Amino acid sequence: MAFKDGFLWGGATAANQCEGAWNIYGKGPSTADVMTAGDTKTPRRITDTVLEGENYPSHTAIDHYGHFKEDIALFAEMGFKCYRMSINWSRIFPNGDDEVPNEIGLKHYDDVFDECRKYGIEPLVTISHYETPLGFQKYGFWTNRKMVDFYLKYCATIFNRYKGKVKYWLTFNEINCMSMMPWMAGGVDNNADEQTRMTAAYHQFIASAKAVQLAHEIDKENKVGMMYGGMFSYPNSCDPEDMQANTDFMHQMLFYCDVQCRGYYPSYKLKEFERKGIVLPIEDGDSDILKKGKVDFLSYSYYFTLVCGKNTEAVAIDCGSMNTGYTNPFLPKTPWGWTIDPKGLRYSLNMFYERYQIPLMIVENGLGTYDKVEKDGSIHDLYRIDYLREHIKEMKKAVEIDGVDLMGYTPWGCIDIVSAGTGEMRKRYGFIYVDVDDEGHGTYQRSKKDSFYWYKKVIESNGEDL
Ligand code: BGP
């Protein structure tokens, strides 16, 4: 059997994309709540404050807040061992800098974790997933070092409160997103220059490293991981110049992992800062903090791969658009233009395991696409089954043939949720369909897609029956 005993099979969501209940039960507004819906062509707009007449699908999302018992029961039916989810920071500290946390919010997650535990499902909690309390605007969000203390206070609150209920934590979702979509990563202006982004990223590194230490102090059972947004790129050809350009691109992304897994900035990044005149806001004792706050494991999302070459320009800043100037003729694409590359998953697992030699976990993977509901209510999502099957096969090879230490696999949007990239509902990933459209209309009823039954078999057989 390839996958180890206790392999964490499950699924993943994020609070701001599924909970709804955005301004009730004491929750304050967050950076996610002021983003309108977009689509494949139109990017989501950041409105600063919620505007009348605009469409904010995540305000109601799939009302996971009101349906979590039903949803977790369905996860349990599939046999989930793990549920990756996030705590909505602004449910706990509505304005961000509040003196005391919001008890209703804390109690809500108690209930969610208890429900998971009832079925033997291990929660894996992302502490900050693309939503930061909007109240931090007055501080300049993560460009301000004060954020480290606010974040740590939030961490101390949840680590203490959920001790014994949660032991797996991720400090920041897709931390490298600070280079691409800094608003989502931490309230930083999407047009901010690199100095600003690197300052904000630095503060997040310090915050994450302190959180790792704090989590270990509060409960030695705690395991804290980093979360990398899966940017992987192939050189366009065997032309050494393409190869070098690809390395340069990957450096822009991989330094986030280097800092969090090794505990210091890599030489290539320091040299680049020197060349560009970028200065990090280093304070006394920081290098020690980074060193002592190395993560216990590396988790990442994996959806697609890119191609870079000598004509790829400034992708470091603009790779959010995925436009590197090259396409891969060997790979098909989803209707949203994401390449489908199962073999690249094995490649990425090897790359990380060679580089860091720490446990890895795939915490997002999946096919976001249109689903058709048949007259009898069934949904034959064989395309999704194919996608996941091929990825699991490659994951298996990485474990069985290459000896990668893999902790688990939690496909993204295990129940349909709002898309982070476009704000739409129709870009669906789930094993479970939710009857709600882009405008928030629908019955909110849950139903099982064909992939639901397939994934249940996969988990039951520990990945043998694909
Ligand atoms: C990752 C994010 C998720 C998520 C996923 C799919 O980058 O961590 O929050 O939604 O991508 O992207 P999308 O929702 O745009 O399809």
CB-ligand 1 contact for 130 (6 Å cutoff): yes
Contacts of 423 (CB under 8 A, 6+ apart): 35, 36, 37, 38, 44, 55, 56, 57, 58
123 is written with which tokens?
């929660």
Distance CA 124, CA 113 (A): 10
The protein residue with its alpha carbon nearest to ligand 1, atom 7, reads: 229
pLDDT in tens, 342-393: 999 999 999 999 999 999 999 999 999 999 999 999 999 999 999 999 999 9
Task: Return the DSSP state at 447.
Answer: E
- How much distance in Å is there from the Cα of 282 to the middle of ligand 1? 32
CB-ligand 1 contact for 420 (6 Å cutoff): yes
Q: What are the helix and strand counts (H, E) for the chain?
A: 14, 12
pLDDT at position 40 is 77
Distance CA 433, CA 376 (A): 14
Instruction: Please report, as a single letter, which amino acid is at residue 164.
Output: G
Phi and psi (nearest 5°) for 298?
-115, 125
> Which atom of ligand 1 lies nearest, measured to the CA of 336?
16
CB-ligand 1 contact for 427 (6 Å cutoff): yes
Neighbours of 337 (CB within 10 A): 11
pLDDT at position 314 is 52
Distance CA 213, CA 218 (A): 9
* Catalytic annotation present for 174: yes
pLDDT in tens, 55-98: 999 999 999 999 999 999 999 999 999 999 999 999 999 999 99
Q: Which domains does the chain have, with CATH numbers?
A: 8-460 (3.20.20.80)
9 is written with which tokens?
């099979």
CB-ligand 1 contact for 421 (6 Å cutoff): yes
Question: Is residue 315 very low, low, confident or very high in pLDDT (cuts 50, 70, 90)?
Answer: very low
Phi and psi (nearest 5°) for 56?
-120, 85
The protein residue with its alpha carbon nearest to ligand 1, atom 5, reads: 420
pLDDT at position 124 is 99
Contact 139, 146 (CB under 8 A): yes
Average pLDDT estimate for 135-145: 98
Average pLDDT estimate for 299-309: 96
Distances (CA, A) of 387 to 118, 228, 266, 378, 439: 31, 21, 35, 19, 28
Distances (CA, A) of 78 to 263, 380, 407, 454: 38, 17, 19, 9
Closest CA to 428 of 395, 375, 387, 461: 387
The protein residue with its alpha carbon nearest to ligand 1, atom 16, reads: 419
CB-ligand 1 contact for 174 (6 Å cutoff): yes
- How much distance in Å is there from the Cα of 13 to the middle of ligand 1? 9
Contact 98, 90 (CB under 8 A): no
Question: Is residue 403 very low, low, confident or very high in pLDDT (cuts 50, 70, 90)?
Answer: very high
266 is written with which tokens?
């890599």
The region of weakest confidence among 43-47, 254-258, 397-401 is: 43-47
Neighbours of 349 (CB within 10 A): 23
* Catalytic annotation present for 99: no
CB-ligand 1 contact for 96 (6 Å cutoff): no
CB-ligand 1 contact for 173 (6 Å cutoff): yes
- How much distance in Å is there from the Cα of 420 to the middle of ligand 1? 5
Neighbours of 16 (CB within 10 A): 27
Average pLDDT estimate for 175-185: 95
**DSSP 3-state assignment of 255?**
helix
Distance CA 41, CA 36 (A): 14
**DSSP 3-state assignment of 154?**
helix
pLDDT in tens, 213-234: 999 999 999 999 999 999 999 9
pLDDT at position 176 is 96
Out of 131, 174, 272, 394, the active site residue is 174
Distance CA 98, CA 135 (A): 9
Look at the alpha carbons of 336, 338, 339, 343 in this order and tell me if their dihedral is positive or negative: negative
Site to substitute for ligand 1 among 170, 321, 419, most atoms within 8 A of C-beta: 419
ipTM value: 0.98
Look at the alpha carbons of 52, 53, 56, 59 in this order and tell me if their dihedral is positive or negative: positive
Query: Max CA-CA distance within the chain?
Result: 65
> Which atom of ligand 1 lies nearest, measured to the CA of 130?
9
The protein residue with its alpha carbon nearest to ligand 1, atom 9, reads: 420
pLDDT in tens, 15-44: 999 999 999 999 999 999 999 998 877 889
Contact 22, 419 (CB under 8 A): no
CB-ligand 1 contact for 10 (6 Å cutoff): no
- How much distance in Å is there from the Cα of 426 to the middle of ligand 1? 13
Look at the alpha carbons of 11, 62, 44, 183 in this order and tell me if their dihedral is positive or negative: negative
Instruction: Report percent pLDDT > 90 for the chain.
Output: 93
The protein residue with its alpha carbon nearest to ligand 1, atom 2, reads: 420
pLDDT at position 322 is 66
Closest CA to 452 of 435, 436, 430, 434: 430
pLDDT at position 289 is 98
198 is written with which tokens?
């690197």
CB-ligand 1 contact for 101 (6 Å cutoff): no
pLDDT at position 317 is 41
373 is written with which tokens?
């509901």
CB-ligand 1 contact for 229 (6 Å cutoff): yes
Out of 19, 122, 364, 424, the active site residue is 364
- How much distance in Å is there from the Cα of 412 to the middle of ligand 1? 8
- How much distance in Å is there from the Cα of 383 to the middle of ligand 1? 19
pLDDT at position 316 is 45
330 is written with which tokens?
């060997």
57-93: b or e for each residue (b if 16 or more CB lie within 10 Å)?
A: bbbbbbbbbebbeebbebbbebbbbbbbbbbbbbbbb
- How much distance in Å is there from the Cα of 419 to the middle of ligand 1? 6
> Which atom of ligand 1 lies nearest, measured to the CA of 173?
8
Contacts of 111 (CB under 8 A, 6+ apart): 68
Q: What is the mean pLDDT of the chain?
A: 96
The region of weakest confidence among 163-177, 254-268, 308-322, 433-447 is: 308-322
244 is written with which tokens?
């070098």
pLDDT at position 321 is 61
| 24 class by beta-carbon count within 10 Å (0-12 exposed, 13-18 middle, 19+ buried) | exposed
Distance CA 84, CA 170 (A): 9
H or E, element range at 122: strand 122-126
**DSSP 3-state assignment of 413?**
coil
